[in-house]
């Protein structure tokens, strides 16, 4: 029997973990053996630190509320059904270091197992978990990038660059930096810093390159000289530090790679304030400095809080998508619905598919259909070809542990029933997976070996986001079957501003003008409503006009608002009043 009593809070998970460990550590031999088997044979494990101890439990066991041995034996699902609720509180990772901690935990119960995948709490990093385990000591570093020229290189390539070479700067200063670098190891944390501002942090990983050019970092420091002038240079006394001199010696080649820059925001409000008394290695003027764990954890949390505040809409909406699988973003023009859809997918670390519907788009484009084909003799025939969505779903099957987000821009501009066909059933959140399998229109032509030979279905890891404008007349033709299968979220002008303001010039002035204009648009005398408000995406165009708000009005806003007011008796006067609001003139519209 299928279980439906999923956990509702993280505390529900912790309670289940404690239940499993009570069996493992109890005196009942049968319960102990059963729990040991559960602990050993899972595939994906939730990790929690309970009473200063790292505990592991299979996701299948902890995903159901108030689970016990008896409940689990009677009914426990297939192991994937709880993913959608676990994603609200945890994120999935795979890491050799966590495998080491897990093996250590299994050894307590005289068990062994192979590599696993793990769910770790959203509020914790792998480094914090490892530090708690006592298995690996994590060191923390503030790494400055001191050149405008190489800032973008560091950000885009997830690297920290020393930017210091012998022959170019005082040798003692370079030796001091390299002395710190020599102590950095896999799993350490580096803060991406420019001046006194901290933009993100990254977890140090092994050098991704192989090379026959091997040097010694200790000897380089000792003799104040480098061995090579070109190519990739590795060091036999460091797994993480390397030189990329493929562009020649003028290229700052000394660098360390991180997994990614977590919680990156530019501009940032997180600074190195308070660091002076928290330095463990080096001096404050250096480009790499060791800092205490307490200082590092504080800054990591500040970065996370800043990022989540800036992306509050994106974070909340991504959770809505995780629960419902299908989501429609609606809103006024220019609220950046497509931009936000892509941002939501990026927050989920998902693979992204994209298509824009239009009146000519049909089932053949989306699901499958017959396409012309020339054979070797020049004869034209037809063959069945997968549509864009079916191809996307096949890719998702190959990486079933990773989320795949398919974005349908302007979803209401296509004839929905014609495009989706029998897929209305398969995309329903309640019929994901093989239980929602359907026979497509060309099922009898599908070749042996095709993943959907027996029928088509949409896997649990596929999520769909549609975007549409509220004022588009084609909204009225949206199929009720489609409406029922999607969660709906309106994107307001204010939310679009919060999501995009870090990409704007003159952001504060944009907020003032946009708010005043939208308040004026909602004046009942105009006969409009909030669906006609102006979204923040229009103001991104300011960069093209060097911040000239008048040009933005003339080339983009005036024409749109004129169309809104078309047919109004006082349209010209009303447009003038909107311009006054946009310009900051608060005179009464009754003058």
Full residue range of the structural domain in which residue 356 is found: 319-491
Residue 267: predicted pLDDT: 79
The predicted-structure confidence for 81-97, as pLDDT tens digits, reads as follows 788 889 889 998 888 88
Query: Nearest to residue 77, comparing CAs of 462, 487, 400, 460?
Result: 460
Tell me, yes or no, whether 436 lies in a domain: yes
Q: Which tens digits make up the pLDDT trace of 242-280?
A: 988 887 655 567 899 998 898 888 878 899 999 999 999
Could you tell me if residue 19 is inside a domain? yes
Rounded mean pLDDT of 339-351? Answer: 88
332 belongs to a structural domain = yes
Same domain, 58 and 168: no
Instruction: Answer yes or no: pTM beyond 0.85.
Output: no
More confident residue, 77 or 287: 287
Higher pLDDT, 234 or 590: 234
* Whether residues 259 and 366 fall in one domain: no
Reported confidence tier of residue 135, pLDDT bands at 50, 70, 90: low
456 and 540 co-located in one domain: no
Residues 345 and 434 in one domain: yes
Q: Confirm whether 174 is domain-assigned.
A: yes
Is 312 domain-assigned? no
Structure confidence at residue 380 as a pLDDT band (50, 70, 90)? confident
Assess whether pLDDT exceeds 90 at residue 579: yes
CATH of residue 404: 3.40.50.300
| Percent of the chain predicted with pLDDT > 70 | 92
In our burial notation (b when 16+ CB lie closer than 10 A, e otherwise), range 476-504 reads: eebeeebeebbeebebbbbbbbbbbeeeb
- Same domain? 180 vs 285: yes
313 within a domain of the structure (yes/no) = no
Last residue of a domain, one of 263, 278, 306: 306
d(CA 302, CA 449): 51
Q: Which of 462, 491, 520 is the last residue of a domain?
A: 491
- How far apart are alpha carbons 187 and 136 in whole angstroms? 8
Residue 374: pLDDT band with limits 50, 70, 90: confident
* Angle in degrees, CA 66, 71, 72, rounded to 5: 100
Reference 142, options 179, 178, 180; nearest CA is 180
Q: Which residues of 113-144 are buried (b: 16+ CB within 10 A; e: fewer)?
A: eeebbbbbbeebbbbbbbbebeebebbbbbbb
pLDDT tens, residue by residue, 281-329: 999 888 899 999 999 999 998 998 888 777 788 888 988 998 899 999 9
pLDDT in the model for residue 77 = 62
> Is residue 172 located within the same domain as residue 293?
yes
CA distance 337 to 397: 27
Q: What is the pLDDT of residues 165-222, one digit of tens each?
A: 555 556 666 778 888 998 999 889 999 999 999 999 998 988 989 999 999 988 887 8
How confident is residue 591, by pLDDT bands cut at 50, 70 and 90?
very low
Residues 196 and 323 in one domain: no
Boundary (domain end) residue, out of 306, 334, 351: 306
Cα 291 from chain centre: 28
> pLDDT category, 589, cuts 50, 70, 90?
very low
Residues 453 and 521 in one domain: no
Structure-model confidence comparison of residues 502 and 574, the more confident one: 574
Number of structural domains in the chain:
4
User: Percent of the chain beyond pLDDT 90?
Assistant: 45
- Taking only the tens place, the pLDDT of each residue in 517-569 is 999 999 888 888 888 999 999 999 998 999 999 999 999 999 999 999 988 88
């Amino acid at each position: 029997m299928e279980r439906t009593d999923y956990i509702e809070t993280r505390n529900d998970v912790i309670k289940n973990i404690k239940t499993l460990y009570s069996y493992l550590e109890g005196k009942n031999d049968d319960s102990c053996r059963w729990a040991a088997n559960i602990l050993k044979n899972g595939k994906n494990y939730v990790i929690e630190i309970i009473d200063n101890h790292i505990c592991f439990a299979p996701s299948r066991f902890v995903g159901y509320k108030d689970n016990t041995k008896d409940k689990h034996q009677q009914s426990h699902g297939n192991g994937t059904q709880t993913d959608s609720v676990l994603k609200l509180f945890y994120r999935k990772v795979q890491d050799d270091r966590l495998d080491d901690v897990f093996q250590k935990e299994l050894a307590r119960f005289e068990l062994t197992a192979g590599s696993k995948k793990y769910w770790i709490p959203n509020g914790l990093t792998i480094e914090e978990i490892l530090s708690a385990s006592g298995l690996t000591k994590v060191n923390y570093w503030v790494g400055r990038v001191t050149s405008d020229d190489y800032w973008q290189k560091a950000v885009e390539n997830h690297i920290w660059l020393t930017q210091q070479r012998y022959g170019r700067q005082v040798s003692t200063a370079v030796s001091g930096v390299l002395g710190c670098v020599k102590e950095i190891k896999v799993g350490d944390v580096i803060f991406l810093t420019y001046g006194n501002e901290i933009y993100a942090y990254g977890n140090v990983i092994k050098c991704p390159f192989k090379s026959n050019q091997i040097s010694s970092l200790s000897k380089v420091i000792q003799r104040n000289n480098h061995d090579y002038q070109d190519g990739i240079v590795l060091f036999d006394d460091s797994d993480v530090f390397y030189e990329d001199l493929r562009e020649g010696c003028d290229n700052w080649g000394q660098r360390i790679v991180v997994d990614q820059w977590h919680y990156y925001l530019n501009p940032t409000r997180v600074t190195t304030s308070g660091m002076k008394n928290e330095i463990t290695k080096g001096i404050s003027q250096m480009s790499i400095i060791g800092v205490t764990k307490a200082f590092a954890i504080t800054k990591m949390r500040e970065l996370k809080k800043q990022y989540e505040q800036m992306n509050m809409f994106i974070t909340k909406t991504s959770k809505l998508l995780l629960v419902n699988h299908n989501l429609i973003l609606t809103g006024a023009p220019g609220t950046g619905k497509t931009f936000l859809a892509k941002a939501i997918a990026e927050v989920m670390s998902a693979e992204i598919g994209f298509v824009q519907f239009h009146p000519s788009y049909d089932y053949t484009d989306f699901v499958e259909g017959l396409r012309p084909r020339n054979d070797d003799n020049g004869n034209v025939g037809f063959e069945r070809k997968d549509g864009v969505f079916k191809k996307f779903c096949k890719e998702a099957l190959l990486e079933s542990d990773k989320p795949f987000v398919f974005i349908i821009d302007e979803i209401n501009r296509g004839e929905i029933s014609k495009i989706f066909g029998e897929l209305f059933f398969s995309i329903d959140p309640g019929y994901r997976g093989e239980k929602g399998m359907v026979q497509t229109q060309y099922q009898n032509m599908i070749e042996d070996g095709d993943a959907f030979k027996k029928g088509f279905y949409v896997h649990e890891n596929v999520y769909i986001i549609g975007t549409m404008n509220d004022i588009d007349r084609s909204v009225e033709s949206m199929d009720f079957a489609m409406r029922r299968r999607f969660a709906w979220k309106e994107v307001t002008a204010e939310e679009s501003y919060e999501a995009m303001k870090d990409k704007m010039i003159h952001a504060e002035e944009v907020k003032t003008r946009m708010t005043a204009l939208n308040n004026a648009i909602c004046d009942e005398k105009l006969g409009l409503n909030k669906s006609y408000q102006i979204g923040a995406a229009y103001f991104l165009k300011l960069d093209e006009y060097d911040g000239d708000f008048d040009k933005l009005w003339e080339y983009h806003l005036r024409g749109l608002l004129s169309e809104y007011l078309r047919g109004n008796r006082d349209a010209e006067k009303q447009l003038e009043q909107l311009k006054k609001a946009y310009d900051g003139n608060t005179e009464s519209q009754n003058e």
